[in-house]
Amino acid sequence: MEEINMTNESNLYKVLKVKMKDFEIKKEKVLDDTDNEIIDGKTNKPKTKKITTNIIKITTKDIEYENNNKEKKIFQFTSINNKNIRQYHTLVKEDDVIRIIRVLNLDGNNSLDNNYIFIKDIITASVKIDTYKNKTKEFITLSYQQVDKNGIIKVDDKGNELIKNVKYKRLMASSGSIRNKKVTFIREDLWSKANDILLGGLPSDIKHSQMSKFNAYYALPSTDSTPVTSPKIVVVDDYKKDITETFDVVRPKKDANGNKIKDEYTCKSETWTETIKPFDGAGICDISIAKIWAKELGLYKEEIIEEDGKKITKISGYIPSYFQFRCIPGIKGDVYVMDIKKYSIKYKRRNITDKGVKQALIKDVFGNNVEILDSKGNLLKNVILTRSQFKFTNEWKELYGSEGFNKWQEEFEKEIHGYKRTFNIAKYGLDFKDIKHEVLLSYQPLQTLHFSKNQIRNICYPTIKRIKKISTNVDEFLKYRGLIQEFEEEQNKKQDNILVPQYYKALQKNKDLWNDKYIQSKVKEDIKGFKERSYKGAIIADGNYQVLIPDLVGLIQYAFDEEVTGCLKANQIYSKYWLLKKQKKVDIIRFPHIAMEHRVANVVQPEFNEGENWLEYIDEGIVTSIYDSIALALNSADFDGDKIMTISTNKIIKQVTQEMANTITFVDDEKNNAAENKKVPKINDMNKIIETDCMGMSNDIGTVVNKISQLWSIIPEDEEENKKIQDMIKIMSVIGSLTIDFVKTGIKSPIPPSILKFIKEKKILKPDFMKWKYSKIAKDERAINRNKRLLNQKEVELFGKTKCTVNKISWYMQGKLKSIEIRFDDSNKEEFNYSNFITNKDFNKRAKGYVKTLETMIELKNEEDKIGYLQNKNSDDFTDSEDNSEQYTIFYEYAKNRLMEIVANKNYKLNKEKMLDYLIYIVTNEDEFKKYNNKNLIWNTWGKELTRRLNDKKLIIRELDEQKIIKKSEEIKVKVNKKKKTKEKVYINIFNPEAAEGDQKEIEIFDTEIEVIKTIDEDKNRRLVLTMLILDKFCKAYGKEFNIANNKKSIKMYNIYHLSEINHKSIETHLKELKNNGMIEFKEKENGKVLECKVNINEVGKPVKIIKDVNNIKKLFKLIS
């Protein structure tokens, strides 16, 4: 096979994603114990039951072409269950798994698909728990059914359908994947080799006491990462320290006989000694290896240049304060930059004895004394890891004793199945200059404090002031958008930066775009989002996110077996950022923030001996003390990369100081005994692995957090009830921590029944501010109350209106922001005109190149609209927003290639400059785009080129290879329809809108029905009752009930006002009028969420119209005018 030269500049790869709900359903005969069929007495037919297979059928089409006089065939995905394949693609960043797959089968995982290398040997599956656990288990089969270019199923010489089955086996599921109910599968014939590589030399049948932890460690290679130079490592045991404080101790509740009461707990404040690991997840790397990694990651550069006749070293970039690493098998954490060599030399000087200079030795976790310096003072080990980072320490020790580390290293450096394992960096610290100065709070830390009206006014003022500015000032808008971006990344714990749209990048360079209507529409959307975020507590504070770091001096002291004193006292922190700000105290916050977990700490500069500064390389980070419980209080934070928020808002710090609670700890004396009696599974027990996956997927931290918000929203009647509620919150904090860690620990902890009972009996609702978080519940509330009004019934509330802290903040912000309007008008500037940037305004509109470009753009716009429709159609399924985003990303890459095909085709005599002229003209002048002011396509496909044009820069022109560009694009046939846009149609699921014409039902309209409708006075009411009549007839034709509700099985209210052409604000009034005159009857169902409808017009007379499509209702309006 000829090698193809490919580039993957984005470092993104495309993989197939499937959903278990798409598995084929087969019918199987039901047999009794004697293998006889069970017969249905009524029909005399064998009874059957539905069986979910593990097969997903995929249709493929052949693309045939000649190459060296030899015919070749390439099979491309075109549909799964008759849906567009791009809905089944997802993008992933490069990780160890991708690198392993490509080494094992490069030829099969090296084809370029719309600028992304397609990895065909792995698939990701969205899991349906019951299907995964009981039916499909570890295997998925993709069944490729081959059809020709005309869509006819291909057969062999014997008439058998051509089907190729490819079997995939479960490979891994990371902690994040488990939370999102996703599992990675690999082609079965590669599984064994991949498993060999991923185990890193550990036997495949060893036992592990916690399968959930093993699964998480095994899946670490699926983290996005970059290979770097492997360090010289020494692993030390974990340091443990006892701290005594007043803790709120949560324990399992026991009855009078001392037996545990299932899922119930007690909480008591007491002096308690807690054993902590002050360096959990943390290690140290020497500045020398840190410098090498920084260079390899493109962050740091040293150049020898000549200046004034002398050679000097020019330094650019920076060395991060820390590196988060991943290494096979189960080796992970953060290493923080320190001068290990300098400390080792100082250590030797401090330890001169009568017998001479003591060697710089570190005793490793395997019991070996490891030299750190050679006789010449050179560093022999440049990274110190702790046992908490070397996850399979026990297994290596049990198998190889003191040689455990050497055995791991031998296996790590060995090439296996062609693959050489690597030391990988997943994340690293920020450049100091890039640390933000402002941060957005969220409702969680705010709901745990109690503010007066004046305090609320003070803490909300910066946000109100900023929103006023961003509504009129382009620079302030762009600045605030960066703040929102960081907020979304930290709240959602995304590993990738949220992409900044190209039009905002252009706006940064060309502020005149502020006057463009399309840009203004995007700005309005964003500002509306900014306001709504503030209604749920996202208000500005002075501060930022930085990584949580342990006392590194204490860590290196421990590594060298010295007295562990550290450099910070209890409740002290070191932060270069806050020291330069001269801030003495900060409030420390970590998410999720469940109970009252704020911690106020003192910012100090540690004292070191002259010529020593052991924290000199820590530019980003909050270094904490070993003498307090801050990390434990922050929801059991560790030091493997956890980001924490620190703020300096004085009003909040003052309130936290007044209300600060004890650290919460969970004590279960019988937990260890239960663990000892538990059967230890083997790591290759696939049934146990899948069972553990499913248990993790069934846990829901969102439910726990919501119940806590409900508890925080209660205004207690007295001090006794306040204590009871606070104890519940503390217990729920423990439940929350156990829920988050379940995917690693395997300990499942339901919400205590007594707490659920208390919430139910008290009728505690989600607080009112949450309507901005849970838009579907808010929509349900609006729909229910609309139905109540139609039925003249009392309205209901699904959100509580108690005067809790975040409700008060929400109401205050709504009142203040309501009057702030977005203003773009500037008397000195005209509306932005893209046409001014067309270089040749007199081009021929009949030219083949223009006609083809217009045709393609309309085709692409229809497909773009189709994506929007399908996502809207599936909105009730809570489709993953990341998947939606990726689907658009893939589509726009495809669209770009389609347009580049035209440029590359010499018959059209185009270059990129002329194509950009065409595209600008099309989106500003052609009706299909001008009507909707829709410039999405041009900005998302040719955004970089458009930005250069708007800034008077020439486009970058490269020679194009037409054949290569064509190969990048999928063959697609989309009918161009200029008269009717997809988004103009109404799609009602129960009427099977995607059915073939022959499968569509038809209904008749009778002359007597028209006459009855014409007796109604108001035109809008006539249109509405005709619409309701036709919908009622279609419901009967399809055997469905005529229900109005926000779900797939009903007709949505917006369908009705769209079809009847009545403004949504007045639809309720007109429905009520029709109800009052007896034309329509309503009945509520499902607690008011569903409105059952009946139209009281008799079906008699002669048919005057027959229709198959509800979208033709508007054509009948002339009959009733």
Mean pLDDT along residues 567-575 = 98
Q: Find all residues with CB under 8 Å of 668, minimum gap 6, and list them.
A: 251, 252
Cα(194)–Cα(416) distance, rounded to whole angstroms?
Answer: 10
Check: CB of residue 443 under 8 Å from CB of residue 709: yes
| Banded model confidence at residue 494, pLDDT cuts 50, 70, 90 | very low
Which residue reads 């770097």 in tokens? 228
pLDDT of residue 116: 83
Q: How far is CA 239 from CA 101, 551, 745, 845, 907, in A?
A: 38, 12, 21, 76, 72
Q: Which helix (H) or strand (E) holds 961?
A: none
pLDDT of residue 347: 83
pLDDT score of 77 more than 70: no
Mean pLDDT along residues 416-436 = 97
Per-residue pLDDT tens over the stretch 92-108: 899 999 999 999 999 88
**CATH number belonging to the domain at 985-1120, selected among 1.10.10, 3.40.50, 3.15.10, 2.60.120:** 1.10.10
- Structure tokens that stand for 312 in this block: 């000097």
Per-residue pLDDT tens over the stretch 806-857: 999 999 999 999 888 887 765 456 677 887 888 888 888 889 999 999 999 8
Check: CB of residue 708 under 8 Å from CB of residue 737: no
In one-letter notation, the amino acid at residue 641 is: G
pLDDT score of 873 more than 70: no
Mean pLDDT along residues 190-209 = 96
Per-residue pLDDT tens over the stretch 97-139: 999 999 999 988 888 776 789 899 999 998 888 888 887 789 8
pLDDT of residue 8: 41
pTM exceeds 0.85: no
Per-residue pLDDT tens over the stretch 654-682: 999 999 999 999 999 776 555 556 789 99
Tell me the percentage of the chain whose pLDDT exceeds 70.
Answer: 83
pLDDT of residue 985: 74
pLDDT of residue 886: 59
Cα(141)–Cα(170) distance, rounded to whole angstroms?
Answer: 11
pLDDT score of 1092 more than 80: yes
Contacts 24+ apart (CB under 8 A), 524-533: 524/822, 526/477, 526/481, 526/484, 527/467, 527/470, 527/471, 527/477, 527/822, 529/484, 530/467, 530/470, 530/480, 530/484, 531/467, 531/813, 531/817, 531/820, 532/772, 533/440, 533/484, 533/487, 533/772
Cα(734)–Cα(633) distance, rounded to whole angstroms?
Answer: 11
Cα(88)–Cα(77) distance, rounded to whole angstroms?
Answer: 10
Directed axis angle between helix 1019-1037 and helix 1067-1076, to 10°?
A: 80
Angle CA 1025–1030–1034, to nearest 5 = 145
Q: Where in the chain is the domain with CATH 1.10.10?
A: 985-1120
Per-residue pLDDT tens over the stretch 905-937: 888 888 888 888 999 899 888 888 876 677 888
Mean pLDDT along residues 500-509 = 80
| Banded model confidence at residue 560, pLDDT cuts 50, 70, 90 | very high
pLDDT of residue 490: 62
Q: Which helix (H) or strand (E) holds 228?
A: strand 226-228
pLDDT of residue 508: 80
| Banded model confidence at residue 987, pLDDT cuts 50, 70, 90 | confident
- Structure tokens that stand for 48 in this block: 């059957």
Cα(812)–Cα(531) distance, rounded to whole angstroms?
Answer: 12
pLDDT score of 876 more than 80: no
pLDDT score of 1072 more than 50: yes
- Structure tokens that stand for 26 in this block: 């087969």
Buried b (16+ CB within 10 A) or exposed e, 1061-1091: ebeeeebeebbbbbbeeebbebebeeebbbb
Pairing of strands 116-126, 12-19: parallel
- Structure tokens that stand for 826 in this block: 């500037």
Mean confidence (pLDDT) of the chain: 84
Angle CA 379–382–384, to nearest 5 = 130
3-class DSSP assignment, residue 657: helix
pLDDT of residue 674: 52
Per-residue pLDDT tens over the stretch 727-779: 999 999 999 888 877 766 666 788 999 999 999 999 999 999 999 999 889 98
Within a 10 A sphere around the Cβ of 796, how many other Cβ atoms?
A: 12
Q: Which helix (H) or strand (E) holds 764?
A: none
Check: CB of residue 37 under 8 Å from CB of residue 29: yes
Cα(126)–Cα(342) distance, rounded to whole angstroms?
Answer: 51
- Structure tokens that stand for 550 in this block: 């342990």
Which residue reads 């009948």 in tokens? 1116
Check: CB of residue 742 under 8 Å from CB of residue 211: no
Per-residue pLDDT tens over the stretch 938-973: 888 888 888 888 877 766 545 444 444 444 444 333
Check: CB of residue 798 under 8 Å from CB of residue 781: yes
Q: Find all residues with CB under 8 Å of 782, minimum gap 6, and list them.
A: none
User: Which of 390-399, 946-955, 971-980 is predicted most confidently?
Assistant: 390-399
pLDDT score of 1049 more than 80: yes
Q: Is 670 exposed, middle or buried (0-12, 13-18, 19+ CB in 10 A)?
A: exposed
Tell me the percentage of the chain whose pLDDT exceeds 90.
Answer: 55
The string of DSSP codes covering 894-933 is: HHHHHHHHHHH-GGG---HHHHHHHHHHHHHHSHHHHTTT
Q: Which helix (H) or strand (E) holds 271?
A: strand 260-276
User: Which of 69-83, 516-530, 983-997 is predicted most confidently?
Assistant: 516-530
Cα(340)–Cα(284) distance, rounded to whole angstroms?
Answer: 8
Angle CA 906–909–912, to nearest 5 = 100
3-class DSSP assignment, residue 243: strand
Picking from 522-531, 557-566, 952-961, which range would have the lowest pLDDT averaged per residue? Answer: 952-961
Strand ranges (DSSP E) for 890-1042? 1003-1006
- Structure tokens that stand for 115 in this block: 């600028």
* Residue 258: DSSP 8-state: S
The partner residues of 796 in beta bridges, in order of sequence, read: none
Mean pLDDT along residues 859-883 = 56
Mean pLDDT along residues 257-266 = 94
pLDDT score of 883 more than 90: no
Q: Find all residues with CB under 8 Å of 101, minimum gap 6, and list them.
A: 109, 119, 121, 122, 186, 190, 194
Per-residue pLDDT tens over the stretch 222-233: 999 999 999 999
- Structure tokens that stand for 705 in this block: 């957090």
Cα(1105)–Cα(1082) distance, rounded to whole angstroms?
Answer: 27
Which residue reads 């860590």 in tokens? 555
Cα(107)–Cα(220) distance, rounded to whole angstroms?
Answer: 26
Per-residue H/E/C for 373-413: ECCCCCECCCEEEEHHHECCHHHHHHHHHHHHHHHHHHHHH
Residues found in the chain: 1121
Q: Which helix (H) or strand (E) holds 1076?
A: helix 1067-1076
Q: Which helix (H) or strand (E) holds 24?
A: none
Contacts 24+ apart (CB under 8 A), 753-756: 753/263, 753/264, 754/264, 755/707, 755/711, 755/728, 755/731, 756/707
Picking from 329-333, 500-504, 513-517, 976-980, which range would have the lowest pLDDT averaged per residue? Answer: 976-980
Within a 10 A sphere around the Cβ of 873, how many other Cβ atoms?
A: 15
3-class DSSP assignment, residue 502: helix
Per-residue pLDDT tens over the stretch 606-649: 999 988 999 999 999 999 999 999 999 998 999 999 999 999 99
